[in-house]
A and B are shown apart, each in its own frame.
Chain A
Amino acid sequence: MSLNFYRRVAFGLSPHEKPYKDPLNWATNQLDAIPDFLWPGTIPTEKELRKKYGEWVYGDREVLRKKFKNDKYAYRKAKDELRIKTGERYFELNEHAIRHFQTKYSKQPVFERFWLFWGNHFAISEKDFLAEFSTGPYQREIIRPNMVKTFEEMVQSVTTSWCMIHHLDNSESFGPNSKKGMEWRETINENHARELLELHTVSPNAGYTQEDVIQLAYIMTGWAHKWDRKNLETGDIWFDQEMHQKGDKIVLGIKYKNDGKRELAKVIHDLATHPICIKFVSTKLCRHFITDEPTEEMINPVIEAWNKSNGSLIEIHKAVIQQAYKYNEITHKFHPPEIWLMQLSRIFDLNIPLSFEKMNYSFKLKPNNRQRQLSWILREIGHSPYRAKQPNGWSDLEVDWVSPELLLRRFWFASVELPMLVKSENRSHDFILSCLKNNFEDHKNMASLIHQFRFGTSDKDLGRKYGVICNLPEILKV
């Protein structure tokens, strides 16, 4: 088995790891239990961060805008102070540190790859202040615990999470015949219903109609944040019967009797176990780990495992890994910038993320450059994980990631920034050679390309070496 398997399903081998005797076993054994978060710094809860979100929004919208209505400079200044006080500029940086610390040091890196996958399948795109306060904890507290349950349970949790409901506006969706809908002459907002069908479960392949979207939106009415004057839109999710559309609904030919709160779980059950949903999500999983255009032959065993286990994600994940193993030698997969960065960090033991002590935040001064570094790098290489532009998340296709500027950014990172992230004890040429040997069959050829720089250890020399190494086809792809 080629060493690239460790990068195909994980992040490569760190200098402290050696290739395992049975790589397939090594990989599939990582999927039964949820690894703890290793980050020694603070890991705030979703609820705490939602409270901060509320303080920020309330402070800006209800206080500052009114107070400084005539003075844009004073308003900007006060707003900046509020950002600092509520951590609006900080929490996303901390989340990136938690995430990258995990992928760098986890003993179950394969599990972590699936974590990234599901966070992107149920993506929260850039909207309001979700990236600042909510997307990170959502991925930690909603996505992650469900990875040892069934797909259906995952969809249930995601669909009723504050983050997804806010992201897709379900709190603004009123059944037109509900009490509040009639009183306020409000109607449905179809966003969430559409994405539940299109992106999260059955996909357009199921051939649903606009009427199906509307009917599903009716079922979903009432699942909303609890609004009050102080928390505004950051209140907990509940089911508001007074927003809920009365009457029976029909989605994809199945009738759901008027049953209030219980309708949602029933329809999610049917969607999450729908054969087209199973095929759609299995295809996405294979696309992520095997190749951009997976064949039926690759996908079918995953579908079988899904059916046999009634959608157990543990079993599904294992089947995906088996397929990735099986096709490792004959397929290629391009990795998007964040995974590439995580792999470089693990393989070459780079100094990211920043140590947890240095990530501590006082809520008095704005985060410093060092604290912002990782997030800045992610943004500059074009892959700030919580800021996908659309609810379909980041693309998993090579064609979307290969543009002149995006490739140049990788050259820039590897040749200019990376040298400053090399630990002082790892600056020797031999260190690079040993890392290459640990991870690449073709390490001799790779080494020959940087042989001419072997005596240099300055940042500039390291930049030439890493600039070449990190952009070779065998590192951009597995």
Chain B
Amino acid sequence: MNCTRRNFLIGGSTTLFLSGYFPKISFASMQKKNLIIISLRGGMDGLTAVPVIGDKRLKKLRKKLILEDVLNLNSDFGLHPKLEIFHKLWQKNQAAFVHATNIPYTGRSHFDGQNLMETGAHIPYKEKTGWLGRGLLASNIIGKGLAISLPMPLLLRGVPQNNNFFPSPDFVETKLIDQIYNEFKGEHNELIKSTLDTIRQRPLSMQIATDSDDRKKLALEAAKQLKDQSGPRVAVFDLDGFDTHAAQGGVDGAHADELEEVNKIVTILHENLGQAFDNTLILTLTEFGRTIKQNGGYGTEHGYGSAILMAGGLLKKSQVYTDWPGLKKKELFEGRDLNSTIDSRAVYNSAMSICFNQDPDFLRKEVFWGDHLPDLSQELFKI
């Protein structure tokens, strides 16, 4: 066993010496950079997605959930076989993982946890806006958020004029809008009128009816929009079903099905973003990980530490970035969960600073109330 705490951290403390942030003015920073967040609701199991193959304890505790055909990342970590695209991108330094990370929430309620993963706060339901919305607002990037969902996700709230795409079940004749457009008179109708403008300016591809359950089409459209230099800079996807209390399985279980969905979305984004993929960061977000030990239903319960799956050309290199806490009983959180040694908000804050060309310290204050979140840009991203 060579997986001991801290031996993954090489140069991880550089943040202490970075007193300021100097954005480089280069052609690359003129290019629009995209930040894509995929919410994985229900509690994504970091140890199923990125199993620690260097630690035999995992096998012992999860006899029935063991993965075969794990894709190799390095001597310590493997990758779930359904996450093929990440493996492919890993070879090109375009995929990486942050492990043993979570938002600072140790309760085990989905609802509180999902609220906090979106608000970035410490107390459930206290904040009414999302960290991504606040980040956009602080960076003065207005009207550039695209949600792939019907309601505007909490994550994006806090900045006005976001667009959302979740096509209705049937075709809508948008010429109906032309017929009534001029009826919206007066100040009190301005908001609706400007929203009708947004609808009328949408590309035809966003007006067609499609099956909102068809993730493929939605991802395809998102890629198309993000590729456009004047299009959105941020996109948010929502996946659920990660709450696998039973029949979680290994290579082929219920959790694998969900990972396959993530894989599908990233594959489509990668294929269709083309060159723009080089200026893109894709990050996953979840409310907590799952218990190390399998339960009586060969599933897992709500846990704590999880992993962030990352892809995109703005990554520094392929790596599993972690301050590994270990899996010995005393190393586990409350004796049962993988611990979290990295506040995942530090990753998101750094990602926003890269994609929005902002000082991470400024964002940390504007978005996360000045919480202590080390700047990880140097370690994780191209700057």
CB atoms of A72 and B125 under 8 A apart = no
Question: At the interface, yes or no: B176 with Cβ under 8 Å from chain A?
Answer: yes
Query: What is the distance, in angstroms, from A208's C-beta to the closest C-beta of chain B?
Result: 12
CB atoms of A412 and B246 under 8 A apart = no
Complex-state Cα separation, A58 to B249, whole angstroms: 22
CB atoms of B192 and A415 under 8 A apart = no
Q: Mark A433-468, 1 if CB is under 8 A from B, else 0.
A: 000000000000000010000000000000010011
* Stretch of A16-24, A63-71, A362-370 that contacts chain B: A63-71
Q: If the complex has contacts A127-B111, A194-B125, A404-B163, are A69 and B296 also in contact, measured as CB distance less than 8 A?
A: yes
Complex-state Cα separation, A337 to B202, whole angstroms: 23
Q: Which of A379-412 contact B (CB under 8 A)?
A: 380, 382, 389-392, 398-400, 402-409, 411-412
Q: Which residues of B sit under 8 angstroms from A416, Cβ to Cβ?
A: 168-172
Query: What is the distance, in angstroms, from B383's C-beta to the closest C-beta of chain A?
Result: 34
Query: What is the distance, in angstroms, from B240's C-beta to the closest C-beta of chain A?
Result: 11
Of A391, A405, A411, A449, the contact of B125 (CB 8 Å cutoff): A391
Residue of B nearest to A71 (CB): B247
CB atoms of B188 and A477 under 8 A apart = yes
Task: Report whether over half of chain A's contact residues are helix, strand or loop; otherwise say mixed.
Answer: helix
Q: If the complex has contacts A411-B176, A416-B170, A471-B180, are A406 and B246 also in contact, measured as CB distance less than 8 A?
A: no
Q: Which residues of B sit under 8 angstroms from A412, Cβ to Cβ?
A: 168-170, 172
CB atoms of A472 and B297 under 8 A apart = no
Centre residue among B128, B152, B164, B192 by max chain A CB count within 10 A: B192
Question: At the interface, yes or no: A253 with Cβ under 8 Å from chain B?
Answer: no
Question: At the interface, yes or no: B66 with Cβ under 8 Å from chain A?
Answer: no
Query: What is the distance, in angstroms, from B256's C-beta to the closest C-beta of chain A?
Result: 9
Question: At the interface, yes or no: A169 with Cβ under 8 Å from chain B?
Answer: yes
Of A61, A191, A471, the contact of B124 (CB 8 Å cutoff): A191
Complex-state Cα separation, A404 to B192, whole angstroms: 9
CB atoms of A449 and B179 under 8 A apart = yes
Question: At the interface, yes or no: A476 with Cβ under 8 Å from chain B?
Answer: yes
Question: At the interface, yes or no: B123 with Cβ under 8 Å from chain A?
Answer: yes
Complex-state Cα separation, A69 to B247, whole angstroms: 5
Complex-state Cα separation, A55 to B364, whole angstroms: 47
Complex-state Cα separation, A462 to B234, whole angstroms: 39
Q: Which of A322-342 contact B (CB under 8 A)?
A: 332
CB atoms of B195 and A191 under 8 A apart = no
Of A72, A195, A476, the contact of B249 (CB 8 Å cutoff): A72
Question: At the interface, yes or no: B13 with Cβ under 8 Å from chain A?
Answer: no
CB atoms of A468 and B150 under 8 A apart = no
Complex-state Cα separation, A75 to B253, whole angstroms: 11
Question: At the interface, yes or no: B298 with Cβ under 8 Å from chain A?
Answer: yes
Complex-state Cα separation, A477 to B126, whole angstroms: 30
CB atoms of A408 and B162 under 8 A apart = no
Complex-state Cα separation, A156 to B184, whole angstroms: 45
Q: Mark A350-384, 1 if CB is under 8 A from B, else 0.
A: 00000000000000000000000000000010100
Q: Which residues of A sit under 8 angstroms from B252, Cβ to Cβ?
A: 72
CB atoms of A380 and B198 under 8 A apart = no
Complex-state Cα separation, A416 to B163, whole angstroms: 23
Q: Which residues of B sit under 8 angstroms from A449, Cβ to Cβ?
A: 179-180, 183
Complex-state Cα separation, A391 to B123, whole angstroms: 13
Q: If the complex has contacts A65-B299, A404-B202, A412-B168, are A473 and B191 also in contact, measured as CB distance less than 8 A?
A: no
Question: At the interface, yes or no: A201 with Cβ under 8 Å from chain B?
Answer: no
CB atoms of A75 and B195 under 8 A apart = no
Query: What is the distance, in angstroms, from B232's C-beta to the closest C-beta of chain A?
Result: 12
Q: Which residues of B sit under 8 angstroms from A126, Cβ to Cβ?
A: 111
Residue of B nearest to A390 (CB): B125
Q: How large is the interface on B (under 10, 10 to 19, 20 to 34, 35 or more residues)?
A: 35 or more
Complex-state Cα separation, A398 to B254, whole angstroms: 40
Query: What is the distance, in angstroms, from B251's C-beta to the closest C-beta of chain A?
Result: 12
CB atoms of B180 and A407 under 8 A apart = no
Query: What is the distance, in angstroms, from A103's C-beta to the closest C-beta of chain B?
Result: 23
Residue of A nearest to B294 (CB): A69
Q: Which residues of B sit under 8 angstroms from A468, Cβ to Cβ?
A: 176, 179-180
Complex-state Cα separation, A471 to B192, whole angstroms: 10
Question: At the interface, yes or no: B26 with Cβ under 8 Å from chain A?
Answer: no
Query: What is the distance, in angstroms, from A29's C-beta to the closest C-beta of chain B?
Result: 31
CB atoms of A404 and B170 under 8 A apart = no
Q: If the complex has contacts A66-B297, A72-B249, A169-B109, are A398 and B191 also in contact, measured as CB distance less than 8 A?
A: yes
Q: If the complex has contacts A191-B112, A404-B202, A471-B180, are A70 and B298 also in contact, measured as CB distance less than 8 A?
A: yes
Question: At the interface, yes or no: B64 with Cβ under 8 Å from chain A?
Answer: yes
CB atoms of B296 and A405 under 8 A apart = no
CB atoms of A407 and B246 under 8 A apart = no
CB atoms of A69 and B164 under 8 A apart = no
CB atoms of B164 and A404 under 8 A apart = yes
Residue of A nearest to B252 (CB): A72
Centre residue among A126, A399, A411 by max chain B CB count within 10 A: A411
Question: At the interface, yes or no: A125 with Cβ under 8 Å from chain B?
Answer: yes
Q: Which of A260-274 contact B (CB under 8 A)?
A: none
CB atoms of B253 and A72 under 8 A apart = yes
Q: Which of B134-188 contact A (CB under 8 A)?
A: 150-152, 154, 160, 162-174, 176-177, 179-180, 183-185, 188
Complex-state Cα separation, A464 to B191, whole angstroms: 24
Residue of B nearest to A291 (CB): B188
Q: Which residues of B sit under 8 angstroms from A467, Cβ to Cβ?
A: 172-173, 176
Query: What is the distance, in angstroms, from A31's C-beta to the closest C-beta of chain B?
Result: 28
Centre residue among A402, A403, A405, A415 by max chain B CB count within 10 A: A405
CB atoms of B247 and A70 under 8 A apart = yes
4 A-B pairs with least C-beta separation: A65-B297, A69-B298, A412-B168, A65-B246
11 more A-B residue pairs beyond the given contacts A194-B125, A402-B192, with a C-beta to C-beta distance below 8 A: A389-B151, A390-B154, A400-B152, A405-B150, A407-B199, A411-B172, A411-B177, A412-B168, A412-B170, A412-B172, A416-B168
The 17 sampled A-B contact pairs (Cβ below 8 Å) are: A65-B295, A65-B297, A66-B297, A68-B247, A69-B246, A69-B297, A72-B253, A169-B109, A190-B123, A332-B188, A403-B152, A403-B195, A404-B164, A411-B177, A412-B172, A416-B172, A464-B173
